[in-house]
Structure 1
Amino acid sequence: MKITIIAGARPNFIKIAPIINAIKKKQNEGFIISFRLVHTGQHYDKNLSETFFEELNIPQPDINLEVKSGTQAEQTGAIMVAFEKELIQNPSDLVLVVGDVNSTMACAIVAKKCNTKVAHVEAGIRSGDLTMPEEINRMVTDSITDYFFTTSTSASENLLKFGAKSSNIHFVGNVMIDTLYQNLDRISAPDFWNEYDLKEKNYIILTLHRPANVDEENSLLHLLRGIDNMVVDKKIIFPIHPRTKAILKETDLAFKNIVFVSPQGYLNFMFLIKNSFAVITDSGGISEETTVMGVPCFTMRDNTERPETETIGTNTIVGTSFENLKKIFNLFLENGGKKSGIPELWDGKASERIISILLDKK
């Protein structure tokens, strides 16, 4: 069985690492299975791309399509044109896509038009918010997918409502958590740990990158100043996304408590999250990692495609206004974090289940 694996952006790299490990394990057991790794180049900043390959022991891609940035349409179109040439030159039995970035949708479309089967890892998750580019990517990808691998029973139910055949839906768990478990004993403090006198639970992690939170400079500054004043006794470590940094431009970034740092590699970032007092974010993936590590998480969105992180895990959806964040965060300071657990099958073995299922179907 020949599998083409697609990776384009930071979350993809984290998800493909354990899948590749699972393939290698099957190869060692004598199974006839191989993979070709295609990096679309959607994320090309070293800290958002190359570092993850190095840290997670992902082999160098067989090809980098070097698409880079552009509008949604420009990037999606460029990926499709480049990947079509790649797939024609290097046919495979299956194209495996992960997550919900532009690379996911673009490569799934190309594969189906080349009469190649598609497997979607992290299929079926839905926010219900069509203003999110990722939601459109999910819906389009799932509309043409052959094999659906889901992280939760609610994602599987979404696919059934969507019209997918139950025989093609496989609840396997969360590959992102596979990566976390496989690397927990390797995480390490970043270089600035001592510089800012960071210690366990004496700081908060902040990440922001979604358009609703960062696209308008004045509202972003209002949010940052509010968060800066909301927490008086802890540093706030903000690994600033290139997109967010570009919006702030030459703005004076002098804050009392917020410390701006560069985007972090996986091992340093997981160390920061694991040892933090709490996390304020607009990322869905981070709410999964905080859930497993038992760290309180406050998600600045009006919805989530990962409801299990809130119903079972440590996540709380707080909306996009600072005022609501402040109200809920203050309640947390007064009452402590909520009781939480780890969702079903988030046990570090999702990738092994995926490869075993694909081998059974060949």
Structure 2
Amino acid sequence: MAINCAAPGKLFGEFPTALMPQEILTSGPDKIRAVICFGGNLLMGLGDPDLAIPAFEDLDLLVVIDPRKNATARYAHYVIATSQPFERHDISTPGDALYPQAFAQYAPPVIDKPAGVIHDWEFFWGVAARMNLPLTLKYWNYGMDFEAIEDGLPLSIDTPPDPQTMIRFLCNNSRVPFDELLANPSGVRPQLPEQRVLATPAGHKGRLQLCPDDVVKELALVLNEHNVNAGFAYQLTCRRILEAMNSAYRDAPATRKRYPVNWAYMNPDDMVKEGIEEGDSIHIRSEAGHITGVARADARLRPRVISMTHLFGELVPSQKAEADGGSFTGRLTSLTDHLQPINFMPRFSGVPVNVVLIK
């Protein structure tokens, strides 16, 4: 297997996800043998299913924790159904960065969860307890090194932790005390002091490093690229929609009503040139693979650009995008070629492709 990058290092304490199939399939004492997929659709998110599916089939254990049986769950040894909103203790912390104004809310469960369903934390606590491994709850966020976080709440291996106690701990350093959240079930809008970017102190000579050395090297490589799209007439770009986020909500009735498939949007002039009309089935091929799509005109697109929403369709498709609920654009992506040299991100957008009308 050829990976055209240097040996990977950790980013925010984690290894690049794109290299997971390689680490599963490579023999040795450090081979990945078990994967727990928590609230995600990992196989679809990886792309390149011709490599990813055999890797996941090679695992000794694949556990998927999700209330719905997504594409990854079809290959799992165990699928664990977890509680949903209104069935569990919850807090608004994960949305902090998304709110236009400061807001905090704690909500206890208002209905019982169905029989056979557990809270997500119960799975991890239960496995650790059976292994006699004590856990420590910490307030973690993206980019933080878990081991370096000093404050933690030790959890007993004998008695399941109390959900409200855990959430109270997570609010220890909050601007809104947990007791205030308890007293205001509709939420709290804290009045925070105005924040401003201050002028540089007099005499301060520090400067931001806007272009680290490894980025300079990568840009130099890009500047010297030639004929990178040789043999391909178009570039496939990603397309976000309001009704879905990655593979989440794509099967919601409102989403499917508006998007029965993830249309392959094209510039109208390109459609005329290729003899393609609105609603035609088209064959889209890249270096890595091919998919069947359904064409739709969009005059806002530049010529020679095709725009499609990702994570629709089936991992193993039929020949009809309509029957599959769309087209899985991950089939046009390689997990071994064209990876970014720093973070090993696959080429999910700007993918060179050709388009042919299916007659």
Q: TM-score, normalised by structure 2?
A: 0.29
Which one has a larger percent helix, Structure 1 or Structure 2?
1
Query: Which protein, 1 or 2, shows the higher relative CO under an 8 Å CA cutoff with sep ≥ 6?
Result: 2
Larger Cα Rg: Structure 1 or Structure 2?
2
